[in-house]
Structure 1
Amino acid sequence: MNKVIIDGNKLTLEEFISVVRKNYKVELSNEAVEKVEKSRSIVEKFVDEEKVVYGITTGFGKFSDVLISKDETKELQRNLIISHSCGVGEPLDEEIVRGIMLLRANALAKGYSGIRLSTLNTLIDMLNKNVHPVIPEKGSLGASGDLAPLAHMVLVMIGEGEAYFGGERMPGKKAMELADIPMVELTSKEGLALINGTQVMTSIGALAVYDSINLAKMADVSSALTSEALNGIVTAYDEKVHQVRPHSGQINTARNLLKLLDGSNMTTVQGELRVQDAYSLRCLPQIHGASKDAIEYVKEKVNIEINSATDNPLIFNEEEAISGGNFHGQPMALSFDFLGIALAELANVSERRIERLVNPALSGLPAFLVEKGGLNSGFMIVQYAAAALVSENKVLAHPASVDSIPSSANQEDHVSMGTIAARKARAILDNARKVLAMELLASCQAIDLRGNKGLGKGSSIAYNIVRDHTEKIEDDIIMYKEINKCEELIKSNVILEEIEKQIGSLY
């Protein structure tokens, strides 16, 4: 059976994807079980001694100075969940919800949260049995954690809220009963332990960064085809050029392009047709490479966050509870804003290449890539649509992390807006994928019009797959269907997987 064992310390991005997209089962390690039980025993000692500890024997936020008696601890935790369930908007996608549950379980498995093992196992059972809480996409400030959306996750654990089970949306209690999962009566610290973290923003962002790695490679593929369609100059990709400015993304992009274009009869060298290309071709290593370096930075931050304890207070073995700020989403907020900008740039330069393809003054090809222009509009509005998407991305790329609105009567006087940053990055990713799909379609049309004299070892693979699903456009057809086909080829990684299978990994 395919499974992932979690201990709070070693979860990888690839394992995360296996659980959320391939339904791998999740188990706690033996070490994690011991740590969780030890941490819980400390919390129970605090309660028995009526020690003043935030969130255990006190209220929350501005109410941190209000003491709660031992007899009221269960009511306190239930009230926390039901009062904080203030999410609004459309439900988050199933894969995001699965990611949220996995990441929250992994954080609790570190053994610093004081939750009961039985409660943690309930969350893992929900994940393994495909009980997916309905979690609205909006309502988190990204500091004090993702309080509102995570509260919706916990509602189902206590037999409230709503969930998807067996493809049907239903009351949370019914879903738990159908899945044969006992519901939980929360006790001291548990409600806070479950909702006080960054797992919503991190799940959204982790999925986005994983897909961004592949999209950046596909940007190299689509641009290689465009380079051939425009008889681009490969001299600019010479390794010597990039070794003297050794940014890794730049070096790797130049290597990718030379690998993809190896053996092509469509490209040229410096001085053969012209001395140099426009920036959208000549500076591909620098532009794509910078985005790849940004994506790699975000991946590094995500790998840290998915193995972090992000709630408050944290319970340490020295029988110490420390109130800190690990729930604050700023490290993720800045990272996901950066990711959005990097993805927007991949789309920006792709749209510029589309313009070069459709503009006869720049391409030497029939206007708008159609032979009977005037009667036919060809790819005219493809470029319009690409321009609309990149313009929308420019609006979305405005950083969420520079904004903050104080909350909880100014006790929480700086917040990250990290969940908004993650959602924006995901939206930009979706737009960028569509723009690259348009370039893929346009470049293959341009190659056909130019006359395919033999493509590179890698680019020919991409061309052949596109042509397996689309045809050269002679007369106007309904274009969105063709764009959607190319987008699905990118989204499914069919092109990328076949290229890497035949010519080796891209960077």
Structure 2
Amino acid sequence: MTTLIVGEQPLSIKQVVQVAQQQMPVALPSSKEWRELIQRGADFLDQLLDEDGVIYGVTTGYGDSCLVEIPKHQVNELPLQLSRFHGCGMGENLDLVTSRAVLLVRLCSLARGYSGVSLALLERLVWMLNENIVPVIPSEGSVGASGDLTPLSYIAGALVGERDVYWQGQIVPMQQVYQHYQMEPLCLRPKEGLALMNGTAVMTAIACLNYKKAEQTAYAATLITALNVLALEGNPSHFDEVLFAQKPHVGQQKIACILRQVLNSEVQTERQSPRLQDRYSLRCAPHVIGVFEDSKVWLRQFIENELNSSNDNPLIDPVNLRVLHGGHFYGGHIAQAMDSLKLMVANFADLLDRQMAQLVDHKMNHGLPRNLTGAEAERLPLNHGFKAVQIGVSAWTAEALKQTLAASIFSRSTECHNQDKVSMGTIAARDATRVLVLTEQVVAALCCASVQAIHLRGLTEQLSPVLQQFVAWTLQSFTLVKEDRPLQYDLQQIVDRFEQLQLLNSAWFNQVENADVR
């Protein structure tokens, strides 16, 4: 596997996802220039301490306690105290993949050289990632400024051997892992506790994973729409190239282009649609999905700029030898990105929910069996096909829509009114994750229902190659429904395969990703 070098070049969302999924090891730069930059920052801090300089969070207390002077003989204890009193996280733990992403994002920020940390700290973070020794991080307890203090304290705590970690498929005390490797816990230098904890790594890591999931969910929704145009005997002229040239949103045009490409099969060229206009959930699908496609540019910019930033406080300028106090821990850009992302993704769920309603309702599905049942005639009275699945889709969609209230507008003054305007970026990111989970469940249900409908129409062999691949992908986890049976496990298997990003690597995804709008 290619090794990702962290410290000199900007990282991408894709690289964060790859490392989170254990597809790529990491290393630090070997260049003399980078190592000297890191060392100068650490040496400058030592110089200030020797000269009795006042450094926030190093020779003072934290936040509103910044006026509390720390005696010189206690300075080295302060980072340990910081990690300990922030150990109050609650809620579900971040899973292994998300926690790996957090670890990499924090490493990326610190390795830029403006946080005053030692090479030894950066090397220990690299070791943890490559050995897959990952802090167990509770998900709740951050207001997104002063960064993700409480969740990030679990990285600092693990480094010093005082927290639990994921290791070899179990959750174990980090002290046990150190004993196994015959290693000593890391002794944090005076600013290193603050440097680890005072930043936006948790919200940014979650945002990276959410972005990739949203991207593949958008393409799945596009291909499901194509199947449903066929299954409902829809009108493919709604995606006409000249029509979409008159409304020049490039992302919207791209979704229409993909629909034109995947609907370009014999079944479409040989028959005419019985209707002039389909209902909006078919006709306007490019307009719904295209909002995200057009927003990807600024979403990626917001997330990757935050990823490649020094976002703790104070920053240590290793070039001009200055201590810079500011507010880069504020996660406003991630909050905005995630609040917007969850709106777009919830609209995918709503779009597919309406398509599902058409598929199962014999008054709207143009001759398909009631509830898409595949039962033989004599068994029809007993069988109800996708009736309950449609109810589930409605429930998941409603919950996703309910989650779309912006978290970033709920700033509240905290920490003795020192943190009197905060971003709520981590809560926004977690909300977006929940919306994605619910929408993936909707997508899974529509994968099954749409494939069932195509089968009932007898169109399976007449699909374009991309749609055939998509149907085959779905049938790896779904068996066509003839007699009623529980579908929970079929649906969950499809959701799980989304989470593993298998869709992202498949041939059909690459084909539609490279679609040319022209």
Tell me the TM-score normalised to structure 2 length.
Answer: 0.93
The corresponding residue for 1:286 is 287
| Residues 489/410 of structure 1: CA separation in 2 closer, same or farther (3 Å cut) | closer
Cα offset, 1:437, TM superposition:
1.2
Cα offset, 1:438, TM superposition:
0.8
| Residues 9/467 of structure 1: CA separation in 2 closer, same or farther (3 Å cut) | closer
Cα offset, 1:76, TM superposition:
1.5
Q: Does 1:25 align with 2:34?
A: no
| Residues 253/320 of structure 1: CA separation in 2 closer, same or farther (3 Å cut) | same
Q: Which amino acid counterpart does residue 407 of structure 2 have in structure 1?
A: A
Secondary structure at 2:21 match in 1: helix
Q: Does 1:465 align with 2:465?
A: no
The corresponding residue for 2:409 is 402
The corresponding residue for 2:128 is 126
| Residues 467/24 of structure 1: CA separation in 2 closer, same or farther (3 Å cut) | closer
Cα offset, 1:14, TM superposition:
2.0
Secondary structure at 2:462 match in 1: coil
CA distance in 2, matches of 1:437, 1:62: 49
Q: Which amino acid counterpart does residue 255 of structure 2 have in structure 1?
A: T
Q: Which amino acid counterpart does residue 460 of structure 1 have in structure 2?
A: Q
1:90-109 pair list within 5 angstroms: 90-109=92-111
What is the total number of aligned residue pairs between the two structures? 506
The corresponding residue for 1:115 is 117
Secondary structure at 2:267 match in 1: coil
Q: Does 1:498 align with 2:507?
A: yes
Are 1:74 and 1:188, in contact at CA under 8 Å, matched by a contact in 2? yes
Q: Which amino acid counterpart does residue 474 of structure 2 have in structure 1?
A: V
The corresponding residue for 2:439 is 432
CA distance in 2, matches of 1:318, 1:502: 49
Q: Which is worse superposed, 139-148 or 14-23?
A: 14-23
Q: Which is worse superposed, 105-114 or 182-191?
A: 182-191
Secondary structure at 1:212 match in 2: helix
Cα offset, 1:374, TM superposition:
3.6
CA distance in 1, matches of 2:98, 2:361: 41
2:70 aligns with one of 52, 62, 68:
68
Q: Does 1:249 align with 2:257?
A: no
Cα offset, 1:58, TM superposition:
1.3
Are 1:234 and 1:267, in contact at CA under 8 Å, matched by a contact in 2? no
CA distance in 1, matches of 2:411, 2:503: 42
Are 1:229 and 1:443, in contact at CA under 8 Å, matched by a contact in 2? yes
| Residues 133/501 of structure 1: CA separation in 2 closer, same or farther (3 Å cut) | closer
2:361 aligns with one of 330, 342, 359:
359
Q: Which is worse superposed, 366-375 or 163-172?
A: 366-375
Percent of residue pairs bearing the same amino acid type = 33
2:39 aligns with one of 34, 37, 40:
37
1:286-305 pair list within 5 angstroms: 286-305=287-306
- Once the two structures are superposed, residues 177-199 of structure 1 have per-residue CA deviations (whole angstroms, 9 ceiling, x without a partner) of 32344312222211111100000
Secondary structure at 1:363 match in 2: coil
Q: Which is worse superposed, 173-182 or 3-12?
A: 173-182
Cα offset, 1:428, TM superposition:
1.0
CA distance in 2, matches of 1:435, 1:73: 53
Secondary structure at 1:402 match in 2: helix
CA distance in 1, matches of 2:9, 2:138: 28
Tell me the TM-score normalised to structure 1 length.
Answer: 0.95
Are 1:231 and 1:268, in contact at CA under 8 Å, matched by a contact in 2? no
Are 1:9 and 1:110, in contact at CA under 8 Å, matched by a contact in 2? no
The corresponding residue for 2:394 is 387
Cα offset, 1:206, TM superposition:
0.6
Are 1:105 and 1:123, in contact at CA under 8 Å, matched by a contact in 2? yes
Are 1:222 and 1:439, in contact at CA under 8 Å, matched by a contact in 2? yes
Q: Does 1:273 align with 2:274?
A: yes
Are 2:110 and 2:117, in contact at CA under 8 Å, matched by a contact in 1? yes
Q: Which amino acid counterpart does residue 458 of structure 1 have in structure 2?
A: V
Cα offset, 1:490, TM superposition:
4.2
CA distance in 2, matches of 1:275, 1:181: 72
The corresponding residue for 2:487 is 479
RMSD: 2.0
Q: Which is worse superposed, 325-334 or 363-372?
A: 363-372
CA distance in 1, matches of 2:340, 2:269: 34
The corresponding residue for 2:385 is 378
